[in-house]
Amino acid sequence: MQRRFWWCSGGLVAALILSATLGPLAALLSQPGTTTVLLWQDSYLLHVAWFSLKQAALSTLFSLLLAVPLARALFHRQFPGKTLLLHLFGLSQVLPVIIALFGLVAVHGAQGWLTQLTQRAGITLPDYLFGLSGILLAHVFFNMPLATRWLVQALEQIPPNHWRQAAQLDMPEWSRFCLLEWPAMRRLLPGLASLIFMLCFTSFTIVMALGGGPQATTLEVAIYQALRFDFDLASAGQLACWQLLLGTLIVASYGWLKPATASLSSASGQPCPRYQPRALFPDLLALVPGLSLFLPPLLAIVWYGLQALFNLAWQQSMLLHTTLQSLQIAASAGMLSLGLSVGLLLSSRHLSIRCHAPRAGRLLSGTGSLILLIPTSVLSTGLFILLQEKIDLFAHGFWLVVLLNALAALPYTLRALQEPMQDLLVRYDRLADSLGLYGLSRLRWLEWPLLCRPAGRALALGMIFSLGDLAAIAMFGSDELQTLPWLLYQQLGHYQMDAASATALVLLLICITLLWLIEWLASRNEHREPPSLLE
């Protein structure tokens, strides 16, 4: 009976995931005219596909060009606030995109800090925030910190005796870079480039907010526009097919090139090697552009948000109502994603460890990452087509958004739980069987004490990804169904900067709280012994 349970949980979850992904995809592909247009036969489709690839390639290139010297400078230099800065770099990986867009508008917009500063100096800057330049700016803001943290960690893996030998040989800085630092970073660059390219290619919120019209749009945004504005199902299907095909190739390349190390922890505190004074100027050339790009938007969010909160935020019932609704959606999506992850891992670990079939276990757990091949915009489009004649989509919009957000967060919650659940089975399975611990007793005395903290991290991670989503709510949202990212997007579109300031700060504070919870749970001792197993 117990063995059947392990099979049933994973089988049911895999069936649900496949139904929720392949069903909408089949509905999308079955639309008339969806697969008849080749890429090179439609000039608009060709332009959108080319722009999608071009902006992703340029974003990847600029992010890595800034990250390599910045990582070297952060590794070698010690200064107050360095640890905090690395934590802020980690925040950028889970920061909702729409919050960062508000900060970028506050700094680089027509009335932003940079424009006001240059006007006082008698310099007139062109409007660069919209179009390709704005998209690249936002993508570099998000992905440069990601690449920097990976590269700093790669430098920390260089053995200390290599640095001592370089010092004994009085090796110049350029030689140290070529012989020690560049080989350590070079092995991560293909995987980082593939990851950043994939993130930029599937970017939705940034391009929708900063695209600047048909000349600067990507496949995902074109799908949304074809469905919500024109209700052209055939065009949406054609665009979705090409998005799916190109996205699959990119995801496959990431799986082939992904970096060897997956930890994104901050600097470990390893003593830095002695750095020569003449390298100070190159380090400043690396630190100043990187920090000038990253820090001012975060400061603008806090500065304008605090002013707005004190002045008018809590007088607006809309903000409070939307905050509660966002938390409801995020909590529901996080719980659903957590439940799906646990169901998959119960079966996959059984296959991998008890049945000695690791390939089957990886295949089962891999269904949870199927969403990486099908972007949320494509899945939303397929669900819209599949259900439009069966239910009132906007009346059931809450649960559709919860489902889409849970599926989008599933690869990350799976990753947070996979190793702890497998370790638990390896260490305590025979002991639990010998003591007759099954079912709820096993959950109470063995599973829960050891998995409560990893489960809390997975839940918080799922909530963060759900809080920052804009693709699902843009498709199924309505006047009655609002989230903080969608409210902020509308406020920015109507130039309601005071209200947008308050909304951005509230969303930022919620995400920081959840991120702190993740860090706190990760710092606790996860491998403690289960209580009272022998009592």
Section 438-447 average pLDDT: 71
* Spatial CA neighbour of 195 closest among 151, 161, 162: 151
Instruction: Give the range with max mean pLDDT: 20-29, 230-239, 393-402, 519-528.
Output: 393-402
Cβ-based neighbours of 24, under 8 Å, separated by 6 or more:
379, 381, 382, 383, 385, 386
Does the structure show a pLDDT above 80 at 14? yes
Structure tokens at 149: 């943290």
Section 73-82 average pLDDT: 83
In this prediction, residue 38 carries a pLDDT of 56
Taking the C-alpha atoms of residue 195 and residue 260, their distance in angstroms, rounded to an integer, is 13
Does the structure show a pLDDT above 70 at 428? yes
Contact 343, 17 (CB under 8 A): no
* Spatial CA neighbour of 14 closest among 479, 345, 351, 507: 345
In this prediction, residue 491 carries a pLDDT of 83
Does the structure show a pLDDT above 90 at 487? no
Section 200-208 average pLDDT: 83
Which amino acid, residue 224? Y
Taking the C-alpha atoms of residue 479 and residue 495, their distance in angstroms, rounded to an integer, is 19
Section 23-28 average pLDDT: 78
Does the structure show a pLDDT above 60 at 33? no
Taking the C-alpha atoms of residue 507 and residue 485, their distance in angstroms, rounded to an integer, is 8
Query: What does residue 336 show for φ and ψ, rounded to 5 degrees?
Result: -65, -45
In this prediction, residue 532 carries a pLDDT of 47
Spacing of C-alpha 325 from chain mean position: 22
In this prediction, residue 173 carries a pLDDT of 78
Spacing of C-alpha 160 from chain mean position: 33
Mean pLDDT score of the chain: 79
Taking the C-alpha atoms of residue 461 and residue 454, their distance in angstroms, rounded to an integer, is 10
* Spatial CA neighbour of 408 closest among 346, 484, 334: 334
Taking the C-alpha atoms of residue 388 and residue 384, their distance in angstroms, rounded to an integer, is 6
Cβ-based neighbours of 320, under 8 Å, separated by 6 or more:
314
Taking the C-alpha atoms of residue 488 and residue 431, their distance in angstroms, rounded to an integer, is 53
Does the structure show a pLDDT above 80 at 5? no
> Predicted confidence band at 439 (pLDDT cuts at 50, 70, 90)?
low
Which runs of consecutive H residues, i.e. helices, occur in 312-438? 317-349, 358-366, 376-387, 397-434
Q: Residues 331, 413, 267, CA angle at the centre, nearest 5°?
A: 110
Q: pLDDT exceeding 70 applies to what percent of the chain?
A: 84
> Predicted confidence band at 85 (pLDDT cuts at 50, 70, 90)?
confident
Q: How many C-beta atoms lie closer than 10 Å to residue 388's C-beta?
A: 13
**What does the pLDDT look like over 344-371, one tens digit per residue?**
888 888 777 777 777 777 777 778 877 7
Q: Please report where in the chains the tokens 């460890």 appear, as a residue.
A: 353
In this prediction, residue 70 carries a pLDDT of 92
Instruction: Give the range with max mean pLDDT: 87-96, 234-243, 479-488.
Output: 479-488
Does the structure show a pLDDT above 70 at 2? no
In this prediction, residue 525 carries a pLDDT of 46
> Predicted confidence band at 68 (pLDDT cuts at 50, 70, 90)?
very high
In this prediction, residue 401 carries a pLDDT of 92
